[in-house]
Amino acid sequence: MKITMKEYNNEKEFLENYDITKFDRLSMTSDILLISVSSKDSINYRKTSTKMISILLVKRDDFPFKGKWCLPGGFVNPKNETLDECAKRILKKETNLSNIYLEQLYTFDDIKRDPRTRVVSTAYMSLVDKNKLENNISQNASWFDITEFTEVNNIVNITLNNGNETINFSIQKNIIQKTTNQYSFSILKNENIAFDHPKVILTGIERLRNKINYTDIVFNMMPKYFTLGELQDVYEVILGEKLLAPAFRRIIANKVEKTDKMLTGKGHRPSVLFQYKNNNNIQQ
């Protein structure tokens, strides 16, 4: 028996009679990797504080993964919200800030990434100077410092610590395209992070490491005024390597400008404070 499709006179008639159950639908979420830089006081008071990358995690208060940590996120309202609007709403809820750096990172669509149903997550990376947040983060949120980030034979080990709790996870990087350096990620060990969020964290850190070389993205994490030493420390902790001061100053020479302000009272000689040349372009 031949099945014939009903013919419609126009698109309006077609849409009025369209059966939305004809195809399976999935849920969409926006999840945010919020990155900042923390300072840990040095034992030697004459040296600048040690810098560490920090990420904001939220402790889940409901199933699935109740009691585990995850990135801030939520479901997109299918009726009146875009992915970007959802991400901005979540960011406002978690930080009480509405105009900070935000870029779409990657879409995570493993079939079994969420035990509830088929959920596709579009992850975002957001950068902020943590000092602007003060005590504005939500009650269930906490800043975790990345205290270890090592890679051996394409296996990445990451340790997070918020002062009370330590989380470890390991990820295998699988080469997809040797010529383009494309990888897929497999979680080998995950102690206390919900969903596939370890993959999101690694994806974001690698994106940040890459973009710092050809953009001014780092200044979204800097205070308005800073010393060149502080800026170099931030570059080094993101890149995971030491930089020679002369080479570093050539890199940032056209990005910063000297101010008439000085940093004093930290056990060493007063230091000149600089600022980003294009401060008006920084999302405050």
* Total tally of structural domains belonging to the chain: 2
Residue 13: inside a domain, yes or no?
Answer: no
Query: Domain of 254: which CATH number?
Result: 1.10.10.10
Q: Is there a single domain that holds both residue 200 and residue 63?
A: yes
CA dist 280 to 113, 128, 254, 277, 284, Å? 40, 15, 16, 8, 9
Look up the domain containing 232 and give its range. Answer: 222-276
**Do 204 and 233 share a domain, yes or no?**
no
The closest of 89, 91, 93, 96 to 135, measured between CA atoms, is: 96
Distance, in Å, from the CA atom of 80 to the CA atom of 88, rounded to the nearest integer, reads: 14
Q: Is residue 4 part of a domain?
A: no
Q: Give the pLDDT confidence score for residue 3 in this predicted structure.
A: 44
Report the C-alpha gap between 203 and 33 in whole angstroms. Answer: 10
> Which of 182, 213, 244 represents a domain boundary (last residue)?
213
* pLDDT of the residue at 7: 86
CB-based contacts of 102: which residues, under 8 Å, 6+ apart?
32, 84, 87, 88, 91, 124, 125, 126, 283
- How many CA atoms does the CB half-sphere of 16 hold within 13 Å? 6
Q: Are residues 140 and 176 in the same domain?
A: yes
Cα 39 to Cα 60: distance, rounded to the nearest angstrom: 27
Q: Which amino acid is at 268?
A: H
Q: What are phi and psi of 252, to 5 degrees?
A: -105, 5
State the pLDDT at residue 208: 97
Give me the helix-helix angle, 228-239 and 245-252, nearest 10°.
100
32 falls within a domain = yes
The Cα–Cα gap between 70 and 119 comes to 15
Q: With DSSP H G I counted as helix, E B as strand and the rest as coil, what are the percentages for the chain, rounded to 5?
A: 25, 35, 40
Q: Does a structural domain hold residue 130?
A: yes
Say if residue 203 is in the same domain as residue 80: yes
Mark whether 239 and 111 lie in a shared domain.
no
Residues 270 and 178 in one domain: no
The answer on 255 and 162 residing in a single domain is: no
Q: Is residue 10 part of a domain?
A: no
Pairing of strands 119-127, 155-161: unpaired
Predicted pLDDT of residue 39? 82
pLDDT along the chain (284 residues), means of 10: 68 89 91 92 57 95 96 94 96 86 96 94 95 80 95 96 96 83 90 96 96 94 93 95 92 93 74 86 51
Domain end call among 185, 213, 241: 213
Pick from 59, 145, 47: nearest CA to 94: 59
* Residue 18 resides in a domain: no
CATH number, domain at 82?
Answer: 3.90.79.10
**In angstroms, how far apart are the furthest CA atoms of the chain?**
90
Q: Specify whether 118 is located in the same domain as 254.
A: no
**pLDDT attached to residue 175:** 85
Asked whether residue 110 falls in the same domain as residue 68, the answer is yes
| Same-domain pairing of 32 and 139 | yes
Please indicate, yes or no, if residue 283 is contained in any of the structural domains.
Answer: no
Question: Would residue 9 count as lying in a domain?
Answer: no
Query: What pLDDT, on the 0 to 100 scale, is given for residue 183?
Result: 83
User: Is 232 found in the same domain as 272?
Assistant: yes
pLDDT at 266: 62
